[in-house]
Amino acid sequence: MRLDSDVRYLKGVGEKRAALYRKVGVETVGDLIDYFPRAYEDWSKTKEIAETYVGENACVKAMVCFKPEKAVVRKGMTVYRTAVTDGIDVMKITIFNNRYSAEKLEEGKEYLFFGKVDGNYTTREMTNPAVAEVEGGERIRPIYSQTKDLSTKTIEKNVRQALDSVKDELAESLPDDIRKKYKLSSLAFSLENIHFPKSDYNLYCARRRLIFEELLTLQLGMMLMRGKNVKKSGCVLREDCTEEFLSLLPFEATNAQKRAIAEAMEDMRAGSPMNRLLQGDVGSGKTVVAAALIYNCAKNNIQSALMAPTEILAFQHYNTLKNLMKDSGVEVVLLTGSNTAAQKREIKNRLKSGEATLAVGTHALIQKDVEFKNLGLVITDEQHRFGVAQRGSLSQKGSDPHILVMSATPIPRTLALIIYGELDVSVLDELPAGRQQTETFSVGSELRLRAMNYVKKHVDEGYRGYVVCPLVDDEDNESSMKAAKQYADELQNGVFKNYSVGLLHGKMKPSEKENVMKRFADGEISILVSTTVIEVGVDVPEAVIIVIENAERFGLSQLHQIRGRVGRGKVKSTCILISDAKNDETKTRLRTMCRTTDGFEIADEDLKLRGPGDFFGSRQHGLPELKIAGLMSDTNIMREAQKTAKEILAEDPTLEMKKNERLRKLALKLFSKAGAQELGLKSTIKG
Ligand code: ADP
Ligand code: MG
């Protein structure tokens, strides 16, 4: 038997069970060994009956006093009752509807009973306890995620079989020096003890080693993918033109903005490439910071690229930046998927010749044939929407350009370490002067008309409003959710008859989208009915009211992003969440929105409600699924692993040394599962 043998060859598995295993992602013997328990039951510390307390899960070693007595309570409900004793006290045992389990119990024989203890001051009882023979039973048992036809007991048996049959194949994957340095158990020990721990301490050691290995593998993969290991030098900005830039702004930059610009400038004047994350809540003014750096680069004859996740956003950045730089001689081009072939050719030529100093665009920027003369600064906006590898591709177009990543999402510490690795962080913790908190209301649909009249009132005063829907189109009127297309018509012909209503959704042609956005920004359109395409970054300060239909359909962080489209000027803005949903989780979410506008608080709450796995959706950030490490809980091991990864790569930048061979394989395997090899990992990691 080998690690890559099909599980069906294991004794007691066969075709049928193998099919069940495939459903949970287990195909080979190695996969089965990697199917770690989700929990454990400690049967190793048995208690005397008198020692147990009511409400706890306990394991009691006791003798069966008499053969279980059967009683039919009603049709389909049979109860077996008996009592067990440890020689001092007696505990009642009740078994419902399980003849097999009841009849197995022999009078006068000792067993282990594991279960929740019930009773009162003087009595103890257990209902449907798990029962095991004393012989070999006093141990910590693994509990696996089971499915209907695949019980945890079955999985346990198969794993035992698997471990025994490949014992000699479990070669060590971590280099000896690293294992020694961090006092990590061997692989064979760890796999044995993660499934069948001999003690709590063994389990702790096994977990620590496996988490370390997984996070180390993850870090190595990420670093290789980024090419972080190679020593680099970035272009140096000789002149600092920040003052000049700030004087071009129609407003005074906030102190936070000035600080972030200064931090980045210090990096860019120092000689090695900048790697910086710019974190700031919606509306904190990240674009200004980006613009300042771009301006500085341009003045030093260095090209910049700004990549946005959507065309609308790219277009908007393009306009903003072009406006800001119009008198400064900075040539700006916009490159998106919707340029014509001729336009593209021209833009590419201008970038290649260096005639254009700033390229704004979508992922169209990372296509192979886009070349720069001297790309020195790469900025990505709303970063986590890009795959990790996409970010890397843009940097490769320059020779070690400075990198600035902008994100509005407050990111949990561990996740930040993984996604951003060793990026330095600047935080915009201050909103521009004069901003007022957006007031948020959550209402049922019976108040929709009032909400819309409130929108009208604002439009009458010269402002603009958004109405956001979860769906684009619902031609057959089948959904109970609002669809932007039909709803825009309904509103235009109904409450907003005398107003100009616009429509914006992701399925429109980019040129149509741009056109609508422009008319909305200019005030030609007063009320914009939209899907979540406006969620990211859209900036029209005159829009001061937003109505979100079917608010229950959106996650907390998403609602926060959508709401961030208003409250971008000096006027107090309003957000109205419409929802008829009654369940508690939804209500908590909507209440949180009404209570706070603080992005960090909202992200925290979001994590609590959804758990870290869902925080971004793993596809979005391009990270592989982890099987044992917790993104929130294993920060310390994460740090060690990160340090180790750096040490390993410092000695062996492409993992070609013999002792690192298995690590390289593991990294490849982890990332190929996430689909990252299509994104260029294979070409970076040789093997
Ligand atoms: P975000 O951080 O959400 O990307 P933006 O960069 O889009 O924020 O800025 C939000 C709005 O605030 C824009 O309209 C921008 O012009 C404006 N703004 C940015 N900085 C300042 C400032 N210091 N004073 C006043 N308004 C500002
Ligand atoms: Mg933005």
Domain boundary among 596, 621, 637: 596
Query: What is the whole-number distance in angstroms between the Cα of residue 568 and the centre of ligand 2?
Result: 11
The secondary structure of 122-157, three-state, reads CCEEEECCEEEECCCCCCEEEECCCECCECHHHHHH
pLDDT tens readout for residues 652-671:
888 888 888 888 888 887 77
- pLDDT category of residue 605 using cuts at 50, 70 and 90: confident
More confident residue, 197 or 613: 197
Ligand number nearest CA of 284 is 1
CA distance 531 to 479: 15
Beta carbons of 35 and 43 less than 8 angstroms apart = no
Across the chain, mean pLDDT equals 86
User: In this structure, are residues 445 and 481 in contact, taking their beta carbons and an 8 Å threshold?
Assistant: no
If pLDDT is split at 50, 70 and 90, which confidence band does 84 have? very high
Q: Please indicate, yes or no, whether residues 423 and 517 belong to a single structural domain of this protein.
A: no
Among 335-339, 538-542, 554-558, 669-673, the minimum mean pLDDT is found in: 669-673
Confidence of residue 49 (pLDDT cuts 50, 70, 90): very high
Residues 422 and 506 placed together within one structural domain of the fold: no
Residue 422 has pLDDT above 90, yes or no: no
CB neighbour class for 447 (10 Å; exposed up to 12, middle 13-18, buried from 19): middle
246 C-alpha to ligand 1 centroid (Å): 13
Task: Give the residue numbers spanning the domain of 525.
Answer: 438-596
Same domain, 422 and 443: no
Residue 687 pLDDT: 32
Any residues with CB less than 8 A from the CB of 159 and at least 6 apart, and which? 32, 33, 35, 142, 144, 195
489 and 564 both lie in a single domain:
yes
Query: Six-digit token pair at 433?
Result: 């002067």
**361 domain residue, yes or no:** yes
Buried residues in 527-541 as b, exposed as e (16+ CB within 10 A): bbbbbbbbbbbbbbb
Q: Is 454 in the same domain as 420?
A: no
- Is 317 among the domain residues? yes
Judge whether 521 and 494 are in contact, CB under 8 Å: no
Identify the pLDDT of residue 192: 96
Which residue in the block uniquely carries the two structure tokens 């336009």? 343
Q: Does residue 352 share a domain with residue 467?
A: no
447 shares a domain with 421: no
pLDDT digits (tens, 9 = 90+) for 620-641: 445 566 777 766 667 778 878 8
Residues 298 and 324 reside in one and the same domain: yes
In a domain, 684, yes or no: no
Q: How many domains does the chain have?
A: 3
Are 418 and 353 members of one domain? yes
Domain membership flag for residue 631: no
From 138, 173, 198, the end of a domain falls on 138
Domain co-membership, 413 together with 442 = no
Helical segments of 364-447, H only: 388-395, 413-420
* Centroid of ligand 2 to alpha carbon of 241 (angstroms): 23
Give Cβ neighbours of residue 647 (< 8 Å, ≥ 6 apart).
Answer: none
Which residues have C-beta atoms less than 6 Å from ligand 1?
Answer: 251-254, 257, 280, 282-288, 408, 432, 537, 539, 541, 568
* 572 pLDDT higher than 90: yes
Provide the CATH number for the domain around residue 537.
Answer: 3.40.50.300
Which distant-in-sequence residues (6+ apart) come within 8 Å of 153 by Cβ?
A: none
In a domain? residue 122: yes
The reply to whether 455 and 517 lie within a common domain is yes
Q: Which of 375, 410, 428 is the last residue of a domain?
A: 428
Same domain, 89 and 50: yes
pLDDT band at 501 (very low <50, low <70, confident <90, very high): very high
605 assigned to some structural domain: no
Alpha carbon 414 to chain centroid distance? 11
For residue range 366-400, list pLDDT tens digits in order: 888 899 999 999 998 865 555 555 666 677 777 78
Number of helices and strands in the chain (H, E): 24, 22
Q: How does pLDDT run across 255-277, given as a tens digit for each residue?
A: 999 999 999 999 899 877 888 88
Atom of ligand 1 nearest to the CA of 564: 3
Distance of CA 112 to the CA centre of its chain: 43
Query: What tens digit of pLDDT does each residue of 276-296 get?
Result: 888 888 888 999 999 999 999
The residue whose CA has the least distance to atom 5 of ligand 1 is 285
The backbone torsions φ and ψ at residue 674, rounded to the nearest 5 degrees and listed phi first, read -80, 0
pTM over 0.85? The answer is no
Report CA(551)–ligand 1 centroid distance (Å).
26
Would the pLDDT of 57 be above 70?
yes
> What is the SS3 assignment for 167?
helix
Atom in ligand 1 nearest the alpha carbon of residue 280: 2
Cα-to-centroid distance, 381 and ligand 2 (Å) = 7
Provide the CATH number for the domain around residue 131. 2.40.50.140
For 471, which DSSP code? B
Q: Is the residue at 451 inside a domain? A: yes
* Residues 433-460 pLDDT 10s: 888 889 999 999 999 999 999 999 999 9
Is residue 583, in this structure, part of any structural domain at all? yes
Instruction: Answer for the pair 317, 381: CB distance below 8 angstroms, yes or no.
Output: yes
